[in-house]
């Protein structure tokens, strides 16, 4: 920047530093992105957040976003836009009539599982921070939805394509897209219970939230997506729309849906997801745009921007030494307990009633990977805005809301971001590889001939293991034998990879046995199979 009457000077202001930092990260990360994501198996969101921390007040202090923008309002609108784009993308990528064909699975995950996530998180927050139960419900409602941005990084990439079946990836995407718009009923039920009498709270909640926000948004989203599909097909037949406009149509429809639904005061996030699925209801748009990466590029840039921004604005001073019971130890304790018990037990409990989760292994994967991210920050901003009402004056939830939610987002980004690398490291150790593989490959029939899942009408015992599971067990026994571990008397006669075919593995038959002189190279096995 050149100023009048002076020599050229370096500009360390935000107009230079913000694009400099964003561009530096995008260029440098892009050059090594394959190494980071496909070899180290680290999530780009984790790396972006760490970069934001390093560039912010807690690090080198290059940029302090808190001094450049009004953090609450800017964060609210930024997260709204990012989530809307992501849930629209989730709806578009789902197969033909997916919401209808997998309705039972979605109802199980969006009903019992999400309610469990809300109540369990509230109980943990209440016990750790000694808040009232309804106050804890407000905070828990922010983290009840799974995050579509972090879920998208889980279901895409080399590891997911090789190890996670398509139907599991689809149900994770569908759930994260749908339940991000379903956080409103949980949040406003808790807010209304604090603000009004019980009867009035329930009446307002049903009329305003359930009917006007949820039901109306589903109808509007379906109509907007249907109209968009009809008009787009008509314009394509008439050759009125060019190539670039066709591939950017989903982004345009996202903005239109946001505007229309927000104008009538309904749930714009849920409407975007429904509109995306309605747009590709007959699979035409999805198949036409399957080779287009325009939206992926836009998603990546938005995600980089947000997580760098998030790392920059995290109030580390509050998280490291808050007042009262808001201490680092309690924040860490609550994060550990919530990540362990918030989702996994409920997913395993309803696995037998969820057709999209066909094995115990798939239920574990779907139960563990329910990340907390952009959606939690969005609902925290919505809750903070609602708590400005004088009715909530003096309540500790106003002070505790953001630190607890942000600490959980940090914990989820970190833990879920390193889960896959840790899985590879553990699986590279011979004994651990056998143990992990045998545990994840279990079915009820392998534990006991009389084992029953105690939930639902499908709680039936299984008389014999699936042939795939038998092959995995044989492989594990051979490895135990090669290591000198005492195993069962059932011999292994066929060689199989650690992963069943549905998870990207393949099996091959070979005869003969391995002697001590032919011990397998476990580093090669782990690299090939895990």
Mean pLDDT of the chain: 79
Distance CA 262, CA 265 (A): 5
Q: Which residues pair with 496 in a beta bridge?
A: 507
Cβ 143 vs Cβ 342: under 8 Å: yes
Q: Is 308 exposed, middle or buried (0-12, 13-18, 19+ CB in 10 A)?
A: buried
SS3 state of residue 378: helix
Q: Is the overall model pTM greater than 0.75, yes or no?
A: yes
Beta bridge partners of 507: 496
* Cα 4 from Cα 461, distance rounded (Å): 84
In the chain (530 residues long), the average pLDDT of successive 10-residue segments reads: 56 74 89 83 87 89 85 92 90 89 92 95 96 95 89 73 84 90 93 93 94 95 95 92 87 93 93 93 85 72 89 85 78 94 94 91 89 93 91 86 94 86 68 56 44 38 45 51 43 35 38 39 39
Whether 233 contacts 246, CB under 8 Å: no
Sign of the torsion formed by the C-alpha atoms of 471, 474, 480 and 483: negative
Cβ atoms 241, 285 nearer than 8 A: no
CB atoms closer than 10 angstroms to residue 358: 14
User: Strand runs (DSSP E) across 346-471, as ranges?
Assistant: none
Q: Which residues are CB-contacts of 276 (< 8 A; sequence separation ≥ 6)?
A: 87, 88, 89, 90, 91, 92, 177, 225, 250, 253, 254
Contacts of 508 (CB under 8 A, 6+ apart): 495, 496, 497
Count of all residues that appear for the chain in the document: 530
CATH topology classification for 69-427: Na+/H+ antiporter like fold (1.20.1530)
Identify which of 279, 368, 347 has the alpha carbon closest to the alpha carbon of residue 110. 347
Annotated domain spans of the chain: 69-427, 430-448+464-529
Please state, in angstroms and rounded to a whole number, the distance separating the CA atoms of residues 408 and 451. 36
Give the tens place of pLDDT for each residue, 311-353. Answer: 999 988 878 766 677 888 999 999 999 999 999 999 999 999 9
Cα angle for residues 27, 29, 35 (degrees, 5° grid): 135
């Amino acid at each position: 920047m050149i100023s009048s009457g002076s020599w050229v000077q370096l500009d360390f202001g935000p107009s230079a530093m913000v694009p400099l930092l964003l561009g530096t990260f995008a260029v440098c990360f892009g050059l090594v992105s394959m190494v980071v994501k496909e070899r180290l198996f680290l999530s780009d969101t984790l790396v972006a957040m760490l970069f934001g921390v390093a560039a912010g007040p807690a690090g080198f202090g290059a940029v302090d976003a808190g001094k450049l923008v009004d953090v609450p309002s800017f964060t609210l609108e930024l997260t709204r836009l990012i989530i809307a784009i992501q849930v629209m993308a989730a709806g578009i990528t789902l197969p033909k009539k997916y919401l209808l064909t997998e309705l039972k699975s979605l109802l199980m995950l969006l009903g019992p599982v999400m309610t469990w996530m809300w109540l369990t998180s509230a109980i943990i927050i209440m016990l750790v921070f000694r808040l009232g139960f309804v106050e804890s419900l407000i905070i828990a409602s922010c983290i009840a939805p799974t995050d579509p941005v972090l879920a998208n990084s889980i279901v895409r990439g080399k590891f997911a394509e090789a190890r996670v079946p398509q139907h599991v990836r689809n149900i994770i995407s569908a759930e994260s897209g749908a339940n991000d718009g379903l956080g409103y009923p949980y949040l406003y039920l808790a807010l209304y219970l604090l603000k009004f009498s019980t009867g009035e709270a329930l009446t307002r909640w049903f009329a305003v939230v359930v009917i006007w926000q949820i039901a109306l948004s589903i109808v509007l989203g379906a109509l907007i997506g249907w109209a968009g599909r009809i008009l787009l097909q008509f314009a394509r037949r008439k050759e009125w729309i060019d190539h670039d406009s066709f591939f950017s149509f989903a982004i345009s429809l996202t903005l239109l849906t946001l505007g229309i639904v927000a104008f009538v005061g309904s749930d714009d996030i849920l409407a975007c997801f429904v509109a995306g699925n309605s747009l590709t209801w007959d699979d035409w748009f999805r198949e036409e745009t399957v080779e287009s990466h325009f939206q992926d590029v836009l998603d990546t840039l938005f995600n980089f921007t947000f997580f760098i921004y998030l790392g920059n604005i995290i109030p580390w001073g509050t998280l490291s030494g808050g007042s009262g019971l808001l201490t680092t130890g309690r924040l860490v304790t609550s994060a550990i307990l919530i990540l362990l018990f918030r989702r996994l037990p409920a997913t395993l409990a309803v696995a037998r009633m969820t057709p999209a989760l066909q094995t115990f292994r798939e239920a574990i994967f779907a139960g563990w990977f329910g990340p907390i991210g952009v959606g939690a920050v969005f609902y925290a901003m919505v809750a903070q805005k609602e708590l400005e009402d004088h009715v909530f004056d003096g309540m500790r939830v106003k002070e505790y809301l953001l630190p607890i939610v942000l600490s959980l987002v940090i914990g989820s980004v970190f833990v879920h971001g390193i889960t896959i690398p840790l899985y590879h490291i553990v699986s590279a150790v011979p004994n651990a590889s056998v143990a992990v593989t045998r545990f994840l490959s279990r079915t009820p029939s392998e534990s006991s001939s009389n084992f029953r899942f105690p939930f639902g009408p499908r709680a039936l015992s299984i008389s014999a293991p699936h042939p795939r599971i038998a092959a995995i067990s044989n492989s594990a026994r051979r490895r135990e034998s090669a290591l000198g571990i005492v195993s069962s008397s059932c011999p292994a006669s066929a060689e199989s990879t650690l992963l069943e075919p549905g998870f990207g593995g393949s099996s091959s038959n070979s005869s003969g046995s391995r002697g001590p002189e032919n011990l397998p190279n476990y580093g090669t096995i782990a690299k090939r199979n895990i």
